[in-house]
Amino acid sequence: MPQPGLFGEPAMLQRLFFAVKPDAETAGRISALGDQLKRAEGLSGKAIKTERLHITLIHVGDWDGLPKGVVDDCQRVGEATDAGAFEVAFDRAQSFSGATGNRPYVLLGNETDLAAVKSFRADLLRRLASVGVKPKSNLQFNPHVTLLYDPKLAPERAVEPIRWRARDLLLIHSEIGLNKYHELGRWPLETRS
């Protein structure tokens, strides 16, 4: 395991990502739905805190310490964003079937309801590339809101649709393993009539 010094503690990874978050009322509804689904599926994982619910748009990268140049470039891209606010909707829940032991249990939506967020993300990737930022995210993108992590694999189930309007782009620094998020930028998405 890498160490910052000969006798130091292992380095704590720092993550940088772009996201959109639901408004407080919608986040509360998502959290309540997550609690209902957790009971219905017999899941035992700890729910994501209401204020941390989000859609990760782009995972920029993980480092022992955040590189100032990358943060500055990401902030410039955020400041230059001129996209309009857009709607997202989620109508089903299920576990992602990745690694065992800590599976994300997520809200998912259909192609139509998530077309705008996919388009917004593609534009954001182009803008990052134009300033030389090469994100860790790949081109595959399945917009979702993680409700909790659990070892159990829960099947897909329909849920009452939850919709909200994404009104801000956020740049977030996450201290991995500490459950700490630091907002490094928030840029309003213009309301278009």
CATH code of 72's domain: 3.90.1140.10
- What CA–CA distances, in Å, run from 154 to 93, 104, 146, 148, 166? 9, 10, 13, 12, 28
Share of the chain above pLDDT 90, in %: 81
Q: 55-108, pLDDT tens digit by residue?
A: 999 999 999 989 999 999 999 999 999 999 999 999 999 999 876 678 999 999
In this prediction, residues 159-185 reach a mean pLDDT of 93
Place of tokens 């609690």: 35
Both structure tokens of 180: 């700490």
CA nearest 81: which of 115, 123, 116? 123
103 belongs to a structural domain: yes
Instruction: Say if residues 23 and 188 touch (Cβ distance below 8 Å).
Output: no
**Residue 165 and residue 120: Cα distance in Å, rounded?**
13
Q: How far apart are CA 50 and CA 35, in angstroms?
A: 11
Tokens read off for 110: 């259909």
On whether residue 41 sits in a domain, the answer given is yes
Alpha carbon 97 to its chain's center? 18
Structural domain including 80 reads 14-188
* Predicted structure pTM score: 0.89
Total domains in the chain come to: 1
**140 lies in some domain:** yes
Which distant-in-sequence residues (6+ apart) come within 8 Å of 152 by Cβ? Answer: 41, 42, 43, 44, 95, 103
